[in-house]
């Protein structure tokens, strides 16, 4: 029998080699057709007497990226269509379809013949669950396996939760599931998820040798008398120590905001107490339940579908030839400029790192060397590779070295005069048509572009700090920026493997406007008398990575003060909060508390340790925590950011809701379980959100007043994705 996605060859040794090779795809993914064919292959192998065992491998460099996201989209679409008519039948069908892969894998596990997974390259999600269902696993030295589903709002629902916890140590297994981390080959073997690591060229032969040596077709948990081992066993002394502590850690890390993570805890705890067939049913029911949550749907849309689309150039202008970027100039060798030089060189491009003198330029290169040393020390890079990257960076004060640059990125001090001076120096050395970019974080691009010879060739490329770790890059269009400059900027961002969002010009652009609202609200809470710890905990429990006071320290209390003063100078007194101005002035001007940079901010720092500064009570007077509604504090911190996002849409700064959502999560950590600022509004419902904002405005002032666009959309029953565009769901894998 022939298959569209697989080939089957049986040798004289009775071993069937099943090779997965989807046509017209760069990577194998699970589709309905793939599962149908795999199911047929299993039944063929069981029925064919000549087949003694099966090896499953891939003809591509990677085993699989996981499941096609369209399957989940179609499944949820069918569920929503039938729910109104017959909720019970719709739920039953959802469970049936959602558990199909789990039933297929259980059939492999119990079919009576041994299956070996031979895995090279990337193996994610359903592919890892397939490997775990097999009776043995051989992985190549370059293999990376993972169950990343929790990162997009769901969890491994095809047996992953049950098999991992029966194969691995309880602590390591649960961390693997809850964090969604990727394991290298040796790490997977150390955990007990893999039996053998082999050179890629010997992978299939090693799998066949494993079969020939004898592999039981009956898993340990299907043998009589099986009991979970170690702390995994709930009703044992070890279990009594492990499970309460695990639950406490889960709540600390997630604040119970993520249904997918919560379902992992429930499915694992209940499942390990049951025989495997019942355990898999428990897992499937939690999986179907999780799929129905707004959090899962929002996270799948933003953190998978939209992320893939934007990374592949969804906003790149059509018809502009691809850029061939070989050399990039970076003006400014400070922390930001050095970080830009580092990620650029690491992507394979040459870098000219410019600063006022050789010593200062070399300091920037030395920063890059430090980052590379850490990568080598952590085993993520060879010394030879690190040396090669560093050699691509030329540190110099000579602007003439920019002559062959394909793109120049200015990353000097946030001062108009300084930026104008370096821009002027570049003009004499770059040819006509060369693209010039500014890494400004607040100054409007249109005003800076007037310093360049052609405003059409000027664009903003705004990185977030630290550059080597932060995934988001804002590409900002000035009023006269043309498609070529946009295309070059997007090509560059793709080359350095970061995620771009395209925004139109505005003071603070998009991300900084939203995060500034978060910081302001935290400062105003403090001034109202909300205890500092309560302010911080409200932020973290609302879903933000850190509280607003801690984030202010990381950004720099002195920088926040400079931004407030600059905003007031440009836009007048009414553009800033008098209360916030008083607080920051007292912190910076009177107390010299600049944040983490000088060890003194809203927190006191001692190495990696920090604690809230006790002297805050000299500036603000804390009240009793009982005087405040904690749920309302959390609402304020999220609503204020979402309102600012809605204003950027109304002003035309943001044109695509995908970019607002991803920009908020990747740029400043807006509660990922919401799917982002606009998804937060959409899934709450425009009417409910507007009503909540109006209630907050009545109590706390006009900063919470919903704008005209929000009111109009609420009246019409619209959503941001419905009005301004939806995420593309074509050919995605999870």
- Interior angle at CA 326, CA 321 and CA 327, nearest 5: 120
Asked whether 512 and 465 are in contact (CB, 8 A), the reply is no
What does DSSP say about strands 15-20 and 393-396: parallel, antiparallel, or unpaired? unpaired
**The one catalytic residue among 429, 462, 523, 611:** 462
Helical (H) or strand (E) element with 327 = strand 327-331
Known catalytic membership, residue 462:
yes
Asked whether 537 and 573 are in contact (CB, 8 A), the reply is no
Three-state SS at 145: strand
Tokens representing residue 164 in the block? 């991992």
Distance CA(135)–CA(221), nearest Å, equals: 12
Contacts of 720-725 with CB under 8 Å at 24 or more apart are: 720/649, 720/657, 720/660, 720/678, 720/679, 720/681, 720/682, 721/301, 721/657, 721/678, 721/679, 721/682, 724/649, 724/655, 724/656, 724/657, 725/656, 725/657, 725/658
Distance CA(381)–CA(373), nearest Å, equals: 9
What does DSSP say about strands 472-477 and 499-504: parallel, antiparallel, or unpaired? parallel
Tokens representing residue 215 in the block? 């592999």
Closest CA to 191 of 209, 214, 174, 211: 174
- Interior angle at CA 367, CA 364 and CA 371, nearest 5: 145
Closest CA to 101 of 77, 140, 79, 72: 72
Asked whether 39 and 107 are in contact (CB, 8 A), the reply is yes
Closest CA to 440 of 455, 424, 460, 454: 460
Closest CA to 681 of 671, 672, 690: 690
C-alpha dihedral (664, 666, 671, 675), degrees to nearest 10: 70
Closest CA to 132 of 176, 164, 100: 164
Question: 70 pairs with which residues across the strands?
Answer: none
The CA distances from residue 109 to 184, 235, 526, in Å, are 24, 27, 58
Query: Residues in the chain, how many?
Result: 734
Cβ-based neighbour number of residue 562 at 10 Å: 15
Distance CA(635)–CA(335), nearest Å, equals: 35
Contacts of 128 (CB under 8 A, 6+ apart): 145, 146, 147, 156, 160
Closest CA to 10 of 60, 50, 44, 58: 50
The CA distances from residue 138 to 145, 306, 354, in Å, are 12, 34, 49
What does DSSP say about strands 136-140 and 196-198: parallel, antiparallel, or unpaired? parallel
Helices (H), 134-258: 160-167, 170-179, 185-191, 203-213, 237-254
Phi first, then psi: what are they for 273, rounded to 5°? -90, 0
Tokens representing residue 403 in the block? 């002559």
Query: Helix 259-271 vs helix 237-254: angle between axes, to the nearest 10 degrees?
Result: 170
Please give the positions annotated as active site.
Answer: 462
């Amino acid at each position: 029998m022939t298959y569209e996605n697989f080939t089957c060859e049986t040798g004289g040794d009775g071993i069937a080699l099943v090779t997965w090779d989807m046509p017209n795809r760069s990577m194998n993914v699970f589709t309905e057709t793939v599962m149908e064919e795999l199911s047929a292959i299993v039944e063929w192998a069981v029925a064919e007497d000549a087949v003694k065992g099966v090896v499953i491998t891939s003809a591509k460099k990677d085993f699989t990226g996981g499941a096609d996201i369209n399957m989940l989209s179609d499944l949820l679409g069918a569920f929503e269509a039938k729910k109104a008519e017959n909720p019970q039948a719709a739920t039953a069908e959802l469970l049936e379809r959602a558990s199909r892969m789990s039933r297929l894998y259980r059939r492999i596990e119990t079919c009576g013949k041994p299956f070996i997974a031979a895995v090279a390259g990337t193996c994610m999600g359903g592919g890892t669950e397939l490997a775990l269902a097999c009776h043995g696993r051989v992985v190549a030295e370059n293999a990376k396996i993972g169950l990343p589903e929790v990162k997009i709002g769901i969890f491994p629902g095809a047996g992953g939760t049950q098999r991992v916890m029966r194969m691995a140590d309880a602590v390591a297994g649960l961390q693997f599931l809850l964090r969604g981390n990727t394991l290298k080959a040796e790490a997977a073997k150390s955990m007990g998820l893999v039996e053998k690591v082999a050179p890629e060229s010997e992978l299939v032969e090693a799998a066949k040798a494993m079969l020939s040596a004898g592999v039981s077709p009956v898993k340990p948990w299907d043998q009589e008398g099986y009991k979970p081992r170690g702390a995994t066993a709930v009703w044992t002394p070890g279990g009594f120590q492990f499970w309460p502590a695990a639950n406490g850690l889960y709540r600390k890390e997630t604040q119970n905001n993520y249904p997918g993570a919560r379902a992992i805890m429930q499915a694992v705890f209940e499942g390990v107490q049951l025989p495997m067939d019942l355990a898999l049913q428990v897992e499937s029911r939690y999986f179907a339940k999780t799929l129905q949550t707004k959090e899962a749907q929002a996270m799948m849309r933003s953190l998978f579908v939209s992320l893939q689309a934007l990374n592949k150039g969804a906003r790149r202008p059509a018809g502009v030839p691809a850029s061939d970027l070989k050399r990039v100039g970076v003006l400014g060798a400070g922390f930001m400029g050095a970080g830009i030089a580092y990620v650029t060189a690491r992507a394979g491009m040459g870098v000219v790192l410019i600063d006022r003198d050789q010593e200062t330029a070399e300091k920037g290169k030395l920063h890059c060397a430090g980052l590379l040393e850490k990568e080598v020390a952590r085993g993520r890079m060879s010394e030879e590779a690190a040396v090669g990257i560093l050699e691509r960076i030329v540190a110099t004060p000579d602007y003439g070295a920019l002559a062959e640059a394909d793109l120049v990125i200015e990353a000097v001090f946030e001062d108009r005069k300084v930026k104008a001076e370096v821009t002027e120096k570049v003009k004499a050395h770059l040819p006509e048509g060369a693209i010039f970019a500014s890494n400004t974080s607040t100054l409007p691009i249109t005003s800076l572009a007037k310093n360049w010879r052609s405003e059409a060739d000027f664009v903003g490329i705004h990185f977030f700090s630290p550059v080597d770790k932060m995934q988001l890059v804002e590409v900002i269009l000035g009023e006269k920026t043309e498609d070529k400059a946009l295309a070059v900027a997007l090509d560059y961002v793709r080359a350095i493997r970061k995620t771009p969002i395209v925004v139109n010009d505005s003071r603070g652009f998009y991300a900084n406007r939203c995060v500034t609202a978060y910081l302001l609200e935290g400062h105003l809470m403090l001034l109202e008398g909300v205890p500092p710890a309560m302010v911080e905990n409200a932020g973290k429990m609302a879903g933000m990575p850190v509280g607003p006071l801690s984030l202010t320290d990381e950004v720099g209390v002195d920088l926040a003060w400079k931004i407030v003063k600059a905003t007031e100078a440009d836009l007048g007194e009414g553009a800033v909060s008098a209360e916030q101005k008083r607080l920051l002035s007292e912190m910076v001007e009177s107390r010299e508390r600049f944040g983490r940079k000088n060890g003194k901010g809203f927190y006191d720092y001692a190495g990696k340790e920090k604690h809230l500064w006790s002297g805050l009570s000299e500036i603000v007077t804390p009240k009793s925590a009982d005087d405040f509604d904690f749920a309302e504090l959390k609402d304020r911190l999220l609503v204020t950011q979402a309102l600012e996002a809605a204003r950027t849409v109304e002003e035309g700064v943001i044109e695509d809701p995908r970019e607002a959502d991803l920009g908020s999560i990747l740029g400043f950590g807006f509660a990922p379980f919401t799917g982002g600022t606009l998804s937060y509004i959409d899934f709450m419902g425009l009417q409910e959100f507007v009503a909540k904002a109006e209630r907050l405005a009545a109590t706390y002032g006009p900063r919470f007043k919903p704008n005209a666009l929000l009111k109009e959309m609420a009246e019409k029953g619209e959503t941001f994705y419905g009005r301004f565009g939806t995420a593309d769901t074509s050919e995605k894998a999870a």
